[in-house]
Structures are given as structure tokens and as C-alpha cells.
Amino acid sequence: MRIPATYMRGGTSKGVFFRLEDLPEAARVPGQARDRLFQRVIGSPDPYGKQTDGMGGATSSTSKCVIVSRATVPDHDVDYLYGQVSIDADFVDWSGNCGNLSSAVGPFAIASGLVDPARVPRDGSCTVRIWQANIGKTIVAQVPVVGGQVQETGDFELDGVTFPAAEIVLEFLDPSDEGEAGGAMFPTGNLVDTLDVPGIGPLQATMISAGIPTVFVNAADIGYEGTELQPAINEDRAALARLEAIRVAGALRMGLINAPDEALSRQHTPKVAFVAPPRDYVASSGKPVPAAGIDLNVRALSMGKLHHAMMGTASVAIATAAAVPGTLVNLAAGGGPREVVRFGHPSGTLQVGAAVAQVDGQWTVTRAVMSRSARVLMEGAVRVPAETLD
């Protein structure tokens, strides 16, 4: 089968983008046919963990597929659906969004003719109103346009991406996911809880559902400084097992799963991250990151491995938690109210803003804003064996 597709970088991730109308008919609706197709496109499940026979890059950041279609929700331009394809296991996780690839949706939609041409200026910024269908939320992307075409090149630098590009501003509206974790931004009702984690014991945690459900713990409480790079975590199987135990305990407390074994089929959410006060370190690129230039350090895991930078959705969770006085994230950043936070991650730093408020005694987040970049890496068609959909 030859299926029209575009391979795009969005933020610090890469994925294969499809228009819904270009998919085989059986894959235009949720279900096994769609999952099988995306697995074959990416090259999963692969017991070798390399995805050699597919478009995936054998990391959580590069094992992704996206479907974009004309909006089904009023006052939006497009619907955006995201699938996180497991590398070695037989499933596709549809339980959350990818904040990094969100930055590529607007450019893809414009270039694919899914945005009304009357709304695309010849020069300037095109506002693309995106319905994030996985979680039922709105993302507004400001996409630079020159000569009626998406502008990709520029001088915006994003740590974790080698080359500069044009800046795309993303605004996540009402990013708390009340439909998922217990009906509140803080699903347990507490800013800090004590988790009883098998093999670790009692552990303080802030559990938040904003951007993506996330479990935050203090780096020092689990033996880390918060300045670790990927090898320190990903080459330590015992460490990965402990962090997964924290994730499972958090998922249970947040009401995302009912039994520990359910976490195996829900690897994308929740995320688990550890935080620490600012400290000097050297990023994976070799660039020094001075403590004076950041508010705190954060390290987060995605699909069971330490992320090479920071997931976009987790960045929303970090900014939101940092804005609420008393959370572990806020305390690591020095406490007190704030609307913007700059944190250190393995590839460098990132600044994200969030606006929060208390309504009837409950914390809510109205918006989160961050900058990313995106570009087309290749366009044309992907090929998969016809029997994939049999």
C-alpha cells in the first residue's frame, strides 16, 4: 500500500503525519486496523528495539504518528489525533497528547489545504485553531507565513534541536485534563501527597493533570541531584524499575488505572518527573547550564526512558505546577507565585508560562504558552505491505 504522508519534526520530536482522508478506509476509524497500520509504518513491535523496518527512530520521541483532519468542533480549523507507538510492545497508546508535535500540526494543516485559504495571510502570522482530539482541548498555534507559505527557517533556537528555525508560539487553552484524573487538576485534592511505593517506601509527590497527567517527586528523595543526563538513568535498569514503580503508584492514586498491571498498556500516561533546585550542569551537547539562568532542574521519563529534552505536554505540567504555591515543583523553584518558569533539562533550558487561579477552592489553569519550531523532513508516501490490514 502507498499512503500519502509527511515526515515532520515538531519541537524535539519527529512523527509521520497523515490526513485522515488519505488513510485506507479501514484505518479512518479507531480500532485494530488503524493501530496495525501505524505500527507497521513505524516498524513496531520490534523485539530488537531498533525499528529498522519502519520510520521510527527507536526512541519515544520518534515513535509517533499523527492524524489531522478538518475540524469537527465549531470555531476550530482542524482536529489533531496523536498515537504514541510502542517500540517493542504490541500497542499504540492514544491516552494523551504530544506537546512537541503539536507545533507541527499548524504548518502541516496549512500546507495540506486543511486551513481555509482566506485565513492564511500572504505575510505575517497565521492563527491555526487546533482541536486536540485525544484529550478534548484547544491549542492555538501562531505559524509564521511568508509569501503565503509556511516559513520554516529562522533564528529561533530550541535546546535539543541542532539547527535554528522559525518560531511557532503555542497556546494551550484550559490544559487541565479534568476528564481523566479524578475530575480536577489535582486529582487527589492535595498539592503534595505521600505515595507508598513498593521497593522505595513513603515518597512525597505532586500529582497534577495539566498538559498531561504527571507525577512529580523530589530528585533528592530518590537519590538524584536533578542534573542527570540520559546515560545515568537509561543505562541503570534498577533505576528505571524504581521510576516505573513511582509512575504506577501515582497512576493508581490519580485514578488513571485500577490495578498495577494496567500500567503496561498505558505507557504514555502518566509521566513521572523528578525536580531539584537550580544547580550548574553541562547539557548533553556540552553546553554549560548555569544555575543562575534557571529556576529549577527537571528530568522526566517518557515511555520508560529518561527523555533527551522535555516533552511539550510535561512542560505544561511543569509550568502549571510551578505557578501553584506549595507544590514540589513550586518549592524547587523557590516558592511563591509565578507566571513564567525556566527550567533545566538534559539538553538545555526551556521557558514556559502558565496562568492559574483558584475557583471555588480548586486550582485551575486557564492557559499555558511555549515556543517551539517545526519543519517538513520528507513528504510523499509511506509504503506498508497490503496484508497489514487483513
Look up residue 71 and give its three cell numbers. 475540524
Look up residue 91 and give its three cell numbers. 500497542
DSSP 1-33: -EEEEEEEEETTEEEEEEEGGGS-GGGSSSSHH
Tell whether the torsion through CA atoms of 154, 157, 158 and 162 is positive or negative: positive
Which listed residue (55, 185, 254, 311) is catalytic? 311
Q: What is the dihedral of CA 55, 233, 330, 134, to 10 degrees?
A: 30
Asked if the bond preceding 74 is cis, omega within 30° of 0, the reply is no
**What whole-number distance in Å separates Cα of residue 139 and Cα of residue 128?**
8
- Phi, psi at residue 27, to the nearest 5°? -95, 5
- Phi, psi at residue 274, to the nearest 5°? -120, 140
- Count of beta carbons in the 10 Å neighbourhood of residue 334: 12
Helix (H, G, I), strand (E, B) or coil at 44: coil
Best CA proximity match to 30, nearest among 59, 67, 62, 60: 67
**What whole-number distance in Å separates Cα of residue 212 and Cα of residue 84?**
13
65 is catalytic: no
Best CA proximity match to 260, nearest among 272, 274, 246: 246
Which listed residue (98, 126, 303, 310) is catalytic? 98
**What whole-number distance in Å separates Cα of residue 148 and Cα of residue 131?**
23
The b-or-e profile of 222-253 (16+ CB within 10 A means b, else e) is eebebbbbbeebbeeeebbebbbbbbbbbbbb
98 is catalytic: yes
Look up residue 216 and give its three cell numbers. 512529580
Catalytic residue numbers read 98, 311
